[in-house]
Amino acid sequence: MVKNGIVIFISGRGSNLNAIISAVNNGMIKYPITAVVSDRYCEGVEISKKNNLNTLIIDYKDYNSKLTFEKELIKRIKPLNPKLIVLAGFMQILSILFIKEFKSKIINIHPSLLPSFKGLNTHARAKAAGVLIHGCTVHFVNEEIDSGKIIAQGATSISKECSEIEIEKKILNIEHSLYPKVIAKLLNKEININENDLILCYYEK
């Protein structure tokens, strides 16, 4: 197993995982995937195994508290010495215990233009609010939900006529192109995390 690479956390379908795997395979991301960690059995686990990646299922239901679950995560991830921990549809809120352990190394992609629509059901809420521009955000993870420093955003227009499924499809397409680029730039140190600017900003129709 290759250490010092990317560790990807998933909980579901794994389409962002797939996009990241493609970017590693085509050389856009120049670091290996050290492990894929899932908090449950899910489609993403199959994608990971099919790509012969080191796949760790650490099922949150096997632990009687968030604390014991996160202690196990730390125990298993720390020896891998990840350069970057990439949350890709990981549906757990990580506590300060885990975040402190991997300070400034955890990023997440969220399906809205933060700080709008933190939390769940972002597309339904964006549609209900009648917004005309919607998108996704890559941000550092801190102890507050969907509130860490914004690294990049991808945006697109939506209209009243768009169904929730169409909106999700549009935004996912942007996620799949944006997330690997941000990961590559962070790993290549083309993004200075101590500077305060918004790093990348896309508008995709």
Residues labelled catalytic = 110
Count of positions (residues) in the chain: 205
Q: How far apart (Å, rounded) are the C-alpha atoms in residues 1 and 188?
A: 22
Q: Which is nearer to ligand GAR, 35 or 195 (CB)?
A: 35
12 binds ligand GAR (CB under 6 A): yes
What does the DSSP 8-state code read for residue 106?
E
Which are the contacts of 61, defined by CB distance < 8 A and separation ≥ 6? 40
Distance of CA 145 to the CA centre of its chain: 13
Q: Which residue has the tokens 């590559």?
A: 184
Closest distance of CB 185 from ligand GAR, Å: 18
Q: Which is nearer to ligand GAR, 4 or 201 (CB)?
A: 201
8 A C-beta contact, residue 103 and residue 25: no
Residue at shortest CB range from ligand GAR: 89
Closest distance of CB 101 from ligand GAR, Å: 20
Q: How far apart (Å, rounded) are the C-alpha atoms in residues 198 and 191?
A: 10
Per-residue contact string for residues 126-165; x = within reach of ligand GAR by CB under 6 A: ----------x-----------------------------
Q: Which stretch binds ligand GAR (CB under 6 A): 7-15, 51-59, 70-78, 151-159?
A: 7-15
Radius of gyration in angstroms for the set of CA atoms belonging to the chain, rounded to a whole number: 16
Query: Could you list the residues that contact ligand GAR (CB under 6 A)?
Result: 12-16, 44, 88-89, 109-111, 136, 172, 175
